Amino acid sequence: MNENEASQKEELEALCAIYGTDWRVEVDKDSYSIQITPEIQLFITLNTYYPSEKPPSYQLLAPTLSRELKEQVHSAFDDIYRNNLGGPVLFEWIEKLKEITGSIEEAKLDNNVNDEEKLEDNNINDLDQIRSRIVHGTIIQDRKSTFQGHACSVENHQDVKDVMEVLLENKKIAQATHNILAYRICMQNGPILQDFDDDGEAHAGSRLLHLLQILNVTNVVVVVTRWYGGIHLGPDRFRHINNAARQVLQQAGFIKDKVVPEAKH
C-alpha cells in the first residue's frame, strides 16, 4: 500500500466514523457520497494521485442551489485544497458545504417563522375585529336557569368559528350547560349558507335557525348561552332561548322594527 492509499484509507475510516450512515459507498470504484440536506448531495471520486498531487473529483447535486452559491462552493473547495496541499481535504469540503447550505436552511426557517408569525398576527387581528363586533344581550332568568344571547355579523364560516372561539375565551360561557348556535350567510352568488348547533339541547339549534329565517336576517350568527339551574323548565326553555336571541338581534341592529314576532312553543 503506497502513501496515498494509506492516507485515503485513514481518511475514509474517519469520515465513516464521523458521518455514519450519511456517508455512503457508491457502486463505482473509489466513489462516495454524502447527503448534506434532503435536496443537496455531494459525490466524490478519489484518484491514485490524491492527496499528494491532485484533488479528488466531485459532483455537486443541488438543483435548488443558485448558480451564485454553486460558484461559491467551487471557489471554497479550491481554496481549501490550495491551503492543504498534500493533505486530506474531504472533511473540510463537507463542512464548508454544510456551512454554506446551512445559511440557506436558516433563511428558509426564518422565512417560515416569519410567515407563521404573520399568520398568527393576522389571526389575532381577525379575532380582535370579531371581538369588537360581538354584542352581548341582557340576562333572562327563570327558576335558577339563566339565558344570554350573543350576536355578531359574519361573512363566512371562518367568522362563525372565530365568534365561538372568542366567546369561549370567557370561562363562564365556556362552562355553560349549552351554547346553542345558528347562523345565516348570504353568499356572493345568491344562495344562503346556514346551519345550527344544538350543543346538547335537542331541537334548540333548529328552532334558533328557524327564527333567523322568519326574521329574514342574514350575515349574522347568534349564540344563546344557557346555564342550567337544576330545575327542568320544559317547553319554556325554548321560549327563553328564542327571546334571548331576538333581544340581542334587535340590540345589535339586525332587526330594524321594534316589534318582532313572538316565539311559538
For residues 141 and 246, membership in a common domain is answered with yes
| HEC readout, 19-80 | HHHHEEECCCCCEEEEEEECCEEEEEECCCCCCCCCCCEEEEECCCCCHHHHHHHHHHHHHH
Judge if 154 and 190 occupy the same domain: yes
In a domain, 116, yes or no: no
CATH number for the domain that contains residue 33: 3.10.110.10
Looking at the fold, whether 35 and 99 belong to one and the same domain comes out as yes
Give dist(CA 94, CA 209) in Å, integer: 66
Domain end residue (candidates: 61, 90, 107): 107
The number of domains in the chain is 2
Q: Is the pLDDT of residue 110 over 60?
A: no
Could you tell me the residue range of the domain that residue 217 belongs to?
134-251
* Dihedral sign, Cα of residue 46, residue 51, residue 55, residue 59: positive
Computed over every residue of the chain, the mean pLDDT equals 85
244 plus 139 within the same structural domain? yes
pLDDT at res. 30: 86
**What percentage of residues in the chain have a pLDDT greater than 70?**
88
pLDDT of residue 123: 58
The mean per-residue pLDDT over the stretch 193-215 comes to 90
Mean pLDDT of 25-38: 87
Residue 123 inside a domain? The answer is no
Q: How much is the average pLDDT of 108-126? A: 54
Q: Using 50, 70 and 90 to split pLDDT, how confident is the model at 118?
A: low
Pair 76, 171 in one domain: no
The pLDDT tens digits of the residues spanning 183-200 come to 999 887 778 889 999 888
Q: For residue 23, is pLDDT > 70?
A: yes
What is the residue type of 65? L
What is the per-residue pLDDT for 104? 61
Q: Say what the pTM is.
A: 0.53
Residues 75 and 39 in one domain: yes
In a domain, 33, yes or no: yes
**Most confident residue range from 35-39, 91-95, 228-232:** 91-95
Check whether 169 has a pLDDT greater than 70: yes
Q: Please, are residues 107 and 205 in contact by the beta-carbon 8 Å criterion?
A: no
Confidence of residue 211 (pLDDT cuts 50, 70, 90): very high
Residue 121 within a domain: no
Residue 34 lies in a domain: yes
In a domain, 126, yes or no: no
End position of a domain, from candidates 107, 122, 149: 107
Statement to judge: residues 78 and 139 lie in one domain: no
- Same-domain pairing of 102 and 146: no
Question: Do 81 and 146 have their domain in common?
Answer: no
Asked if the model's pLDDT at residue 205 lies above 80, the reply is yes
If you write DSSP's letter for every residue of 219-251 in order, what string do you get? SEEEEEEEE--SS--TTHHHHHHHHHHHHHHHH
User: Per the domain annotation, does 124 fall within a domain?
Assistant: no
pLDDT at 259: 45
CATH number, residue 222: 3.30.230.30
More confident residue, 28 or 261: 28
Q: Note whether 97 and 183 are same-domain residues.
A: no
Same-domain status, 171 and 244:
yes
Residue 259, SS3 per DSSP: coil
The per-residue pLDDT for 260 is 45
| 247/140 same-domain check | yes
Helices 236-251, 204-215: axis angle to 10 degrees equals 40
Residue 238: the pLDDT is 93
* 265 lies in some domain: no
